[in-house]
Amino acid sequence: MMKEFPELVEKANAAKEASRTTAVLSTEAKNRALGAIAAILAENKESVFAENRKDVAAARESGMKESLVDRLELDEKKMRGIVDGVHAIMALPDPVGRSDAAWVRPNGLRIMQVRVPFGLVGIIYESRPNVTVDTFALALKSGNAILLRGSRSAINTNKELVRLMKAGLASTDVPENAVALVESMDREAVDAMLKMKETIDLVIPRGGQGLINMVVQKCTIPVIETGVGNCHIFVDASADLEAAKRIIVNAKCQRPGVCNAMETLLVHKSLAETFLPEIIRLLQERGVEVRGCERTRRIAPEVKEATEQDWATEYLDLILAVKIVENVAEAIAHITRFSSGHSEAILSNDYANICRFTSEVDAAAVYVNASTRFTDGGEFGFGAEMGISTQKLHVRGPVGLKELTTSKYVIYGEGQVRQ
Amino acid sequence: MMKEFPELVEKANAAKEASRTTAVLSTEAKNRALGAIAAILAENKESVFAENRKDVAAARESGMKESLVDRLELDEKKMRGIVDGVHAIMALPDPVGRSDAAWVRPNGLRIMQVRVPFGLVGIIYESRPNVTVDTFALALKSGNAILLRGSRSAINTNKELVRLMKAGLASTDVPENAVALVESMDREAVDAMLKMKETIDLVIPRGGQGLINMVVQKCTIPVIETGVGNCHIFVDASADLEAAKRIIVNAKCQRPGVCNAMETLLVHKSLAETFLPEIIRLLQERGVEVRGCERTRRIAPEVKEATEQDWATEYLDLILAVKIVENVAEAIAHITRFSSGHSEAILSNDYANICRFTSEVDAAAVYVNASTRFTDGGEFGFGAEMGISTQKLHVRGPVGLKELTTSKYVIYGEGQVRQ
């Protein structure tokens, strides 16, 4: 028997009800509400900091790692980032009501496919409190209501952020129930939430692989998975080697802890004796630990051995696996086996190899002669994003406002019946 | 511990491998393979009938209902329909490689979003053997490989159809492993298949509500749900009543056993004394059993009472629930509560009410002054379809060739790195 969570059911039902209002609001009304939220958060940052300090103190007391405490802790800069984020979402075009396609059938039926909100979006997330505001702003702009379930470690901060956002909505056309926070910290409350197929239209987990796997295993509601990036760069024989150095250093070192950073470098055998030692040196100078295949270690004996495990690992750190390959076919085969389907790149000037790589590599983003670090809603020009989807259903790559909508067919007739 | 099914794993891996070939085949090569399949099935229909007779005899022996035996049984006409269906899919445009969007970023990166196949599609289905061929033809044309798991009752027919299709592929560029049938009839083989997230990219259940619910509950792979249609027609005060009669009779009677048939009629109160008795009589003349709300029964005392259960039921039969409503708002509220999100219609000439209905009703297809029976891939002009999706993720409404693809971003750079 599943435990019952009246708080969850009540909040979900109220948010679903509110979603019927947010679905049909004008862009102006949604933007006014976003403006009110940005203003009230900016004005009341001290009360947010006060609640956040409680969470941070409790986290330290419980022995949380400092890197995680850092994610949890809010400061002036992060708070400004949150408020600026809401303003940025206000400025983005509203996806709702746009038509992807319209046509007339021979019988005169006029069929129009229009973008509409999902309804109620459930977010399961970890310690970063900015997710509380970012996801609501994105959901609201795309006409959705949102049900949030954050982590225990951020509960005081999240409660205060949601309290303020609701207060901000009070003077607008958006119902306060368009945002709700599940306050029960019982793990089974999440299990129950993941089964509310009649009420919640879409679930997006935001966090590490463990959280995502848990959601995928348990959820009967459609899920957009975001996340894991075991990204590769293949340097082909014909690559522009100066550009290759810049791109490799950028993809590994500019921000190693993110999903679009490179984790494995594949190098064409013809570059093994010349380019490879040089790029290894460049990376080591920047503090990168290189782990190599057997052939790599013959050329650079000081590097550690890369195991099967290395090929499969998303380091999210200044570590890089390096493999020498025979040709583009071996590079593609390696990527097919180990890629998480996020971002993959070929550095080459060989037209046939570029065509083959872009056509055969199965990933959300396939790059030619550029850094994998560009897979990002902002860099793609989408403005804000909800994460990077590495699944294939509905959305692949950055999850922006448009991807937070579904479609509906509206069919205009004049009395047509089916023959 | 989950039981192991080596047959399943082996076939799934081989089909996944084949999907890498089908993904990059030319339209011509895929069409040639479809032509070969159509030809071999037409030439060998007798061997299909022979296997089908075994299944039908076994089904009758086991006491299967005749309506289900009818679905299972193949005859000349059905076989011609199967072959014609393959030819129809050959004639449809290939969705693979088409670009939905392409743009250039300020830094010069050229981003192109292109349609690509999912990879390996898993189909879990019930007794109709035509699904075996239809789904493979659709999957192949959209560049996918397919893993089929049909019902025990059709196993001999399905084996023969798959054997023939594989033989047809032998002389083409499509690997024979692009289609595979799981022959184990152990129910746990389905459970195991629904967890093969690393191998199967998409699962589509084709069958009744029980099958769909089972798949949604157990599957960790993304699912496209097709199916249930509890469809409504609302006759507004201003409707063209002659057109309304035609549309209502069409939506209820033309083919009552399908998902886009009307199940509940909502009638504006101003039509209760005049139009309503007339339409009830028209429907009863056509053998429809009408069940009404209290107000309906005051006007037509011979009709049975409609209960809460009736409002929620997809009859798939010559039965209709009828309710008198105050206005468009009450009609929308009733639909919001009971609709399965398939097809909903308003018959009206009131502009404001039409706008409100099309905007507020949350369904895959919302009709104005036309029969709900048009929600269909063929009627929409998509050619063939894999079913009607009533979920919101990825596809809503008819699942055609385009919906059997996902997208990938290909990004062309000239050495760009992220700042």
Q: Position B140: which residue type? A: L
Residue A71: CB atoms within 10 Å: 17
The reply to whether A109 touches chain B by the CB within 8 Å rule is yes
Within this chain, do residues A133 and A168 fall inside the same structural domain, yes or no? yes
Within this chain, do residues B306 and B363 fall inside the same structural domain, yes or no? yes
Classify residue A299 by burial, with Cβ atoms within 10 Å: 0-12, 13-18, 19+: middle
Does B384 map to a domain?
no
Contacts of A362 in chain B (CB under 8 A): 20, 23, 116, 119, 408
Contacts of A414 in chain B (CB under 8 A): 243, 369-370
pLDDT at B1 over 80: no
Range list of H helices, B142-229? 155-169, 187-193, 209-218
**What's the rounded Cα separation, in Å, for the pair A307 and A335?**
15
**153-182 in chain A: CB under 8 A from chain B:** none
Residue B411: strand, helix, or coil: strand
Q: What confidence score (pLDDT) does residue A382 get?
A: 87
Q: Do B105 and A224 touch (CB under 8 A)?
A: no
Does A205 map to a domain?
yes
Q: What angle do CA A228, B144, A382 make, to 5 degrees?
A: 45
User: Which of A109, A393, A409 minimises the CB distance to B222?
Assistant: A393
Q: What confidence score (pLDDT) does residue A406 get?
A: 96
Q: What is the mean pLDDT of chain B?
A: 95
Going by C-alpha positions, the residue among A300, A301, A341, A387 that lies closest to residue A124 is: A387
Instruction: Indicate the helix (H) or strand (E) that contains B342.
Output: none
Percent of chain B with pLDDT over 90: 91
Mean pLDDT of the region A245-271: 96
Q: Which residues pair with A111 in a beta bridge?
A: A103, A411
Within this chain, do residues A79 and A210 fall inside the same structural domain, yes or no? yes
**What's the rounded Cα separation, in Å, for the pair B419 and B407?**
27
Q: Which residues pair with A110 in a beta bridge?
A: A104, A412
Contacts of A396 in chain B (CB under 8 A): 406-409
pLDDT at B163 over 80: yes
Mean pLDDT of the region A63-86: 94
How is A296-348 classified by DSSP, letter by letter?
Answer: HHHHSTTSEEPPHHHHT----SSEEEEEEESSHHHHHHHHHHH--SSEEEEE-
- In this structure, the strands spanning B365-370 and B343-347 are parallel
Contacts of A243 in chain B (CB under 8 A): 414-415
Q: What is the mean pLDDT of chain A?
A: 95
Instruction: Indicate the helix (H) or strand (E) that contains B397.
Output: strand B397-398
Mean pLDDT of the region B181-192: 95
pLDDT at A227 over 90: no
Within this chain, do residues B80 and B211 fall inside the same structural domain, yes or no? yes
Residue B97: strand, helix, or coil: coil
The ipTM of this complex is 0.92
- In this structure, the strands spanning A405-416 and B388-389 are unpaired
**What's the rounded Cα separation, in Å, for the pair B2 and A45?**
52
Q: Which residues pair with B392 in a beta bridge?
A: none
Integer angstrom CA distances of residue B391 from A103, B10, B13: 23, 31, 29
How is B209-259 classified by DSSP, letter by letter?
Answer: HHHHHHHHHH--S-B--B----EEEEE-TT--HHHHHHHHHHHHHS-TTST
Contacts of A365 in chain B (CB under 8 A): 408-411
Q: Using 50, 70 and 90 to split pLDDT, how confident is the model at A127?
A: confident
Within this chain, do residues B219 and B355 fall inside the same structural domain, yes or no? no
Shortest Cα distance from B16 to chain A (angstroms)?
11
Residue B181: strand, helix, or coil: strand
Going by C-alpha positions, the residue among A102, A94, A29 that lies closest to residue A408 is: A102
Q: Chain A interface, mutation test: which of B392, B396, B414, most A Cβ atoms within 10 Å? A: B392
Q: Do B396 and A406 touch (CB under 8 A)?
A: yes
**What's the rounded Cα separation, in Å, for the pair A111 and A101?**
8
**What's the rounded Cα separation, in Å, for the pair A181 and A199?**
15
Does A383 map to a domain?
no
How many structural domains does chain B have?
2
Q: Do B416 and A370 touch (CB under 8 A)?
A: yes
Q: What is the CA radius of gyration of chain A?
A: 24
Residue of A nearest to B412 (CA): A368
pLDDT digits (tens, 9 = 90+) for B139-158: 999 999 999 999 999 999 99
Q: Chain B interface, mutation test: which of A394, A399, A407, most B Cβ atoms within 10 Å? A: A394
Within this chain, do residues B212 and B295 fall inside the same structural domain, yes or no? no
**18-37 in chain A: CB under 8 A from chain B:** 20, 23-24
Does B212 map to a domain?
yes
Within this chain, do residues B192 and B306 fall inside the same structural domain, yes or no? no
Shortest Cα distance from B374 to chain A (angstroms)?
6
What CATH number is given to the structural domain containing B238? Answer: 3.40.309.10
The reply to whether A285 touches chain B by the CB within 8 Å rule is no
pLDDT digits (tens, 9 = 90+) for A306-340: 999 999 999 999 999 999 999 999 999 999 999 99
Contacts of A105 in chain B (CB under 8 A): 379-381
Percent of chain B with pLDDT over 70: 100
Backbone angles phi, psi at A60, to 5 degrees: -60, -45
Within this chain, do residues A211 and A321 fall inside the same structural domain, yes or no? no
Only one residue has tokens 């795309």, namely A142
Contacts of B247 in chain A (CB under 8 A): 415-417
**What's the rounded Cα separation, in Å, for the pair B135 and B122?**
10
Residue B3 per-residue DSSP state: P
**What's the rounded Cα separation, in Å, for the pair A118 and A30?**
16
Residue B419: strand, helix, or coil: coil
User: Which of A23, A220, A369 minimises the CB distance to B413?
Assistant: A369
Residue B247 vs residue A67, higher pLDDT: B247
Q: What angle do CA B313, B316, B320 make, to 5 degrees?
A: 65
Q: What angle do CA A331, A334, A339 make, to 5 degrees?
A: 115
Q: What confidence score (pLDDT) does residue B207 get?
A: 85
pLDDT digits (tens, 9 = 90+) for A132-176: 999 999 999 999 999 999 999 999 999 999 999 999 999 999 999
Q: Using 50, 70 and 90 to split pLDDT, how confident is the model at A178?
A: very high
pLDDT at B84 over 90: yes
What CATH number is given to the structural domain containing B80? Answer: 3.40.605.10
The reply to whether A119 touches chain B by the CB within 8 Å rule is yes
Does B32 map to a domain?
yes
Backbone angles phi, psi at A204, to 5 degrees: -125, 115
Q: Do A379 and B418 touch (CB under 8 A)?
A: yes
Does A91 map to a domain?
yes
Q: What confidence score (pLDDT) does residue A3 get?
A: 85
pLDDT digits (tens, 9 = 90+) for B322-357: 999 999 999 999 999 999 999 999 999 999 999 999
Going by C-alpha positions, the residue among B96, B138, B97 that lies closest to residue B121 is: B138
Within this chain, do residues A334 and A294 fall inside the same structural domain, yes or no? yes
Residue A83 vs residue A228, higher pLDDT: A83
Going by C-alpha positions, the residue among A127, A122, A5, A16 that lies closest to residue A64 is: A127
Q: Using 50, 70 and 90 to split pLDDT, how confident is the model at B382?
A: confident
User: Which of A119, A370, A406 minimises the CB distance to B413?
Assistant: A370
User: Which of B24, B220, B368 minimises the CB distance to A359?
Assistant: B24
Q: Do A409 and B202 touch (CB under 8 A)?
A: no
Residue of A nearest to B20 (CA): A360
Contacts of B371 in chain A (CB under 8 A): 413, 416-418
Mean pLDDT of the region B283-298: 97
Integer angstrom CA distances of residue B133 from B20, B39, B44, B148, B180: 21, 13, 14, 10, 11
Backbone angles phi, psi at A208, to 5 degrees: -80, 180
Q: What confidence score (pLDDT) does residue B322 get?
A: 98
**What's the rounded Cα separation, in Å, for the pair B289 and A158?**
55
Residue of A nearest to B201 (CA): A392
User: Which of A254, A396, A410 minimises the CB distance to B366?
Assistant: A410
Q: Using 50, 70 and 90 to split pLDDT, how confident is the model at A1?
A: low
Within this chain, do residues B245 and B127 fall inside the same structural domain, yes or no? no
Q: Exposed e or buried b for every residue in B310-329, given b needs 16+ CB within 10 A?
A: bbebbbbebbbbbbbbeebe
- The range of the structural domain enclosing residue A140 comes to 6-224+399-411
**What's the rounded Cα separation, in Å, for the pair B133 and B130?**
6
The reply to whether B312 touches chain A by the CB within 8 Å rule is no
Mean pLDDT lowest for which of A13-17, A57-61, A255-259? A255-259
Within this chain, do residues A12 and A146 fall inside the same structural domain, yes or no? yes
Contacts of A360 in chain B (CB under 8 A): 20, 23-24
The reply to whether A133 touches chain B by the CB within 8 Å rule is no
User: Which of B105, B247, B416 minimises the CB distance to A381?
Assistant: B105
Classify residue B110 by burial, with Cβ atoms within 10 Å: 0-12, 13-18, 19+: middle
pLDDT at B9 over 70: yes
Instruction: Indicate the helix (H) or strand (E) that contains A98.
Output: none
Contacts of B245 in chain A (CB under 8 A): none
Going by C-alpha positions, the residue among B221, B176, B233 that lies closest to residue B196 is: B221
**365-394 in chain B: CB under 8 A from chain A:** 365-371, 373-375, 379-381, 391-394
Does A388 map to a domain?
no
Sequence-distant (6+) residues with CB within 8 A of B320 are B252, B262, B263, B264, B265, B283, B288, B289, B290, B291
Within this chain, do residues A214 and A297 fall inside the same structural domain, yes or no? no
Contacts of A416 in chain B (CB under 8 A): 247, 369-371, 374
Mean pLDDT of the region A386-393: 91
Does A416 map to a domain?
no
pTM equals: 0.92
Residue B366: strand, helix, or coil: strand
Mean pLDDT lowest for which of A211-225, A237-251, B344-358? A211-225
